[in-house]
């Protein structure tokens, strides 16, 4: 989705924002199993979850907003 760099403490800090769509996985109450406290690792890169959206409120797909390079 986007990427940028900023200078922090005399160092360049890159950040990357991406979006992922995954199959819905819910807990016993039907709420999404994932939360913003979780992280996603894909192809050796670790992303922090910033937002979770149930696509079409159908309980089939989740859209995750992810950031890399920023603390959660």
The mean pLDDT value for 13-37 works out to 80
pLDDT for the residue numbered 37: 86
Q: Residue ranges per domain, the chain?
A: 18-68
Give the pLDDT mean for 4-13. Answer: 56
Q: Could you tell me the CA-to-CA distances from 37 to 9, 12, 19, 32 in Å, in that order?
A: 26, 26, 17, 13
Q: Is the pTM of this model over 0.85?
A: no
The pLDDT of residue 11 is above 70:
no
Residue with the bigger pLDDT between 8 and 63: it is: 63
Mean pLDDT of all residues belonging to the chain? 78
Q: What is the pLDDT of residue 33?
A: 79
Token look-up 């670790």 returns 46
């Amino acid at each position: 989705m986007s990427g940028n760099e900023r200078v922090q403490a005399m160092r360049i800090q890159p950040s990357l924002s991406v979006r992922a769509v995954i199959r819905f996985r819910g807990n016993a109450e039907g709420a999404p199993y994932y939360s913003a406290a979780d992280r996603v690792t894909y192809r050796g890169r670790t992303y922090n979850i910033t937002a979770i959206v149930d696509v079409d409120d159908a309980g089939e797909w989740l859209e995750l907003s992810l950031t890399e390079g920023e603390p959660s």
